[in-house]
Amino acid sequence: MQDTITSLINPADEKGLYLEGSALDTLQQYFKTGALRVKAASQIGESADSIISTTVEKSLLYGDITLPGGNMYPTRRYAACLRDLAYFLRYATYAMLAADASILDERILNGLKDTYSSLGVPIEPTIQAVQAMKEVVTQRVGSEAGQEMSVYLDHIVSGLS
Amino acid sequence: MSIVAKVIAQSDRADRFLGSTELTQLQDFFNNSDVRISASQKLAANQQRIVEKGSQQFWNQCPDTPSNRGVKQKTALCQRDQGWYIRLVSYCVLAGNSKPLEDIGLDGMRDMYVSLNVPLSNLRMAMRCLKQAAMGLLSSEEAALAGPYFDQLIRSF
């Protein structure tokens, strides 16, 4: 996986350069947000289960998708949906910490759309759930860290669209 | 790879969020980021000086070595490599992790110098002198961050 630091060091090394100028500025900006990112990752990790339940309640629970014939019925598929949302949350958190989306692409998004269409998982409700997750996460971590998380949750949305 | 990437990969392998030890590690890493930046800038600005000073020291201790036999090209090459190692140490300081040094400068290093007929024990001495010269320019906080990477470099020869 890439992270912001590595993605700045590698091209500098290709040219035999120290980190300087705009690359160093970018790194400095990232360092400045480090404490915020670590705190948010800690809060999200501690309350992941409750973030997922609230997300489902806000987006999927009261719709047709949980009824017979829906893709969250029976319970086995409900549980699979919870598991996938938990993956989204965890990998978005990793990406937010790294300030780099590559781990999301590598571990979640590559091939996801095809997998979902072959399993008959509807994309539209999935996207609604991720949108709801953005709100729930922002409530838990505050607006500044929430915005950072939204960057990577939006990345999931665009990967599914 | 940086310390951030490292703890993420570690958590990913275990299918979990970051644990409290990992979160603390990252917190500590971000807390002294100013020192990381200033150490790396000093190493960058003084690379030439560190190499000159380190080489002088090294040749005093070990006069009969390929870089001190009057072949300008060899001397330049040796000093160029020392400069590179300073740069790799600066990457490590910024990344909070020794991977940049290992991946870029240590993997295969022995084979390379053996094939170039450069005695590893001499290089070890040269790197020790390089460390000394670098440490002399850094504050104690900066030296505490950069020192271990120089030590790893010395050990690997």
DSSP, residue by residue, chain A = ---HHHHHHHHHHHTT--S-HHHHHHHHHHHHTHHHHHHHHHHHHHTHHHHHHHHHHHHTTTSGGGSTTSTT-SHHHHHHHHHHHHHHHHHHHHHHHHT-SHHHIIIIITTHHHHHHHHT--HHHHHHHHHHHHHHHHHHH-HHHHHHHHHHHHHHHHHH-
Question: ipTM surpassing 0.85, yes or no?
Answer: yes
Residue A1 pLDDT: 83
A44 contact residues in B (CB cutoff 8 A):
17
Chain B CA closest to residue A11:
B91
What mean pLDDT, rounded, does chain B reach?
Answer: 97
Residue A160 pLDDT: 95
Residue B1 pLDDT: 87
Q: CB-based contacts of A67: which residues, under 8 Å, 6+ apart? A: A73
pLDDT (mean) for B94-107: 97
What mean pLDDT, rounded, does chain A reach?
Answer: 97
Name the minimum distance, in Å, from the CA of B122 to any CA of chain A. Answer: 25
Q: Answer yes or no: do A103 and B8 touch at CB < 8 A.
A: yes
pLDDT (mean) for B122-137: 98
Chain B CA closest to residue A89:
B17
A9 contact residues in B (CB cutoff 8 A):
2, 91, 94-95, 100
Model pLDDT for residues A47-88, shown as the tens digit of each residue: 999 999 999 999 999 999 999 999 999 999 999 999 999 999
Structure tokens at A22: 């705009």
Q: Answer yes or no: do B5 and A5 touch at CB < 8 A.
A: yes
Chain B 111-150, residues with CB within 8 Å of chain A CB atoms? none
Mutation for testing the A interface, residue in B3, B13, B30 having most A CBs under 10 Å: B30
Model pLDDT for residues A27-52, shown as the tens digit of each residue: 999 999 999 999 999 999 999 999 99
Going by pLDDT thresholds of 50, 70 and 90, the confidence category of residue B85 is very high
The SS3 assignment for B136 reads coil
pTM here? 0.93
* CA B40 vs CA B4, B35, B105, B134: distances in Å: 18, 8, 17, 11
Residue A91 has pLDDT above 90, yes or no: yes
A36: contact with B, CB 8 A cutoff: no
Name the minimum distance, in Å, from the CA of B13 to any CA of chain A. Answer: 11
Model pLDDT for residues A101-134, shown as the tens digit of each residue: 999 999 999 999 999 999 999 999 999 999 999 9
Residue B47 pLDDT: 98
B87 contact residues in A (CB cutoff 8 A):
13, 16-18
